[in-house]
Each structure stands twice: as structure tokens, then as C-alpha cells.
Amino acid sequence: MKGIVFTEFLDLVEAKFGLEMVDKIITESNLESEGIYTSVGTYKFSEMLQLLQHLSEHTDISIDDLLLVYAEHFFSVIERSYPGLLNTYSDPLEMLSSIENHIHIEVRKIYPDAELPTFEVVDKTQDSLVLIYKSNRAMHHFGLGLMNKTFEHFNTKASIVLEKIKDDGTEVKFTIHKI
């Protein structure tokens, strides 16, 4: 997992819960990196799981809800750092349907060894989209949060239904309808 995911997560934890919480979740976790991350480094997903688990325990916020909040924060990073990417699109469904064929290609230019989930477009109309998310990491709520922020970015409302295809969350169906 790319380091930017860790550095931004810890920035969010510090902003929302304080530096003491950052120290607490790092100290309680068994991290090969010792909690020292660079945005361009690559780290084990198990480290993110430990940080999320400890934050969840201390805040009584579910990991899924933490991932939603984190995705909202991460979208603001994308807006600041890669405005050209977002300006390529004029419609949220068009943007979401191009994750595999455009957005992930651009991400791989910056982070060639990034391990990204796949998003298969199952059905697309002018007002709806069905995507299948597949990943060996169950971070579908992070994807859901990014989708929510995508609609917000385009000043558009949508209904997004998440349905687990596999119980462990490694395969999920997103059914999206513009409202």
C-alpha cells in the first residue's frame, strides 16, 4: 500500500483526534515501519488494518465509518494535488465509470507499483451505474466515501447502494442512481 495513504490517514487522525491519538495507535500497533511513512514508500496493508483497528477501539467508531471519513479527507487531497484529473470530467458517473481506463492509469504513472482495486462497469446509463469492486483488501467503504465526494464535487445528488458479493468485502457491487 502506498505511503500517501498512511501519511494522509495519520494527518486526518491528528486533525480529528489529536497528536496523542496518533502516538497511541502507532505505539499499540506492531508496525514493521515503526509508524514512519513517506508518501512515496510502500508499506504492508496489515499496518493500515492495525492503525484502523486501534483507532476504532479508542473512538468507538466502526472501521467502515472511519474509512468513509478518511475517504472524504483523501478526496480533498486529490482535489488539491490533481485538479487537472478532476477537471477532465463534467459528470460524476462518467468519472466513476472511467476509474479503470483512466484514473488508475494516471495513478500508476505516479505510483507504478500501486496495488489498486478493480472496478468493473457492469451497466451504465445516463443516470445510473453499476460497478463491481474487487480487491484483496476490504476497503470498499473507502471507495464508497470517494464516490460520495465525487457527487458532491459535481454538485449532484445520488443514491449509492453497496452490496457485498463476498462476505469478507473483497468483492462488492455498487449500484448508483443520480437523484
Per residue in 92-133, pLDDT (tens digit) is 999 999 988 888 888 788 777 778 888 999 999 999 999 999
Nearest 5°: CA angle at 145, between 13 and 15? 15
Supply the mean pLDDT for the chain. 92
Q: Tell me if residue 89 falls in helix, strand or coil.
A: coil
Residue 53 cell numbers, joined: 483497528
Q: What is the pTM for the complete model shown?
A: 0.89
Q: How many Cα atoms occupy the beta-carbon half-sphere of 19 within 13 Å?
A: 0
124 phi/psi in degrees, rounded to 5: -145, 130
Burial status of residue 168 (CB atoms within 10 A of its CB: 0-12, 13-18, 19 or more):
exposed
- List Cβ neighbours of 149 (8 Å cut-off, separation of 6 or more): 71, 72, 75, 76
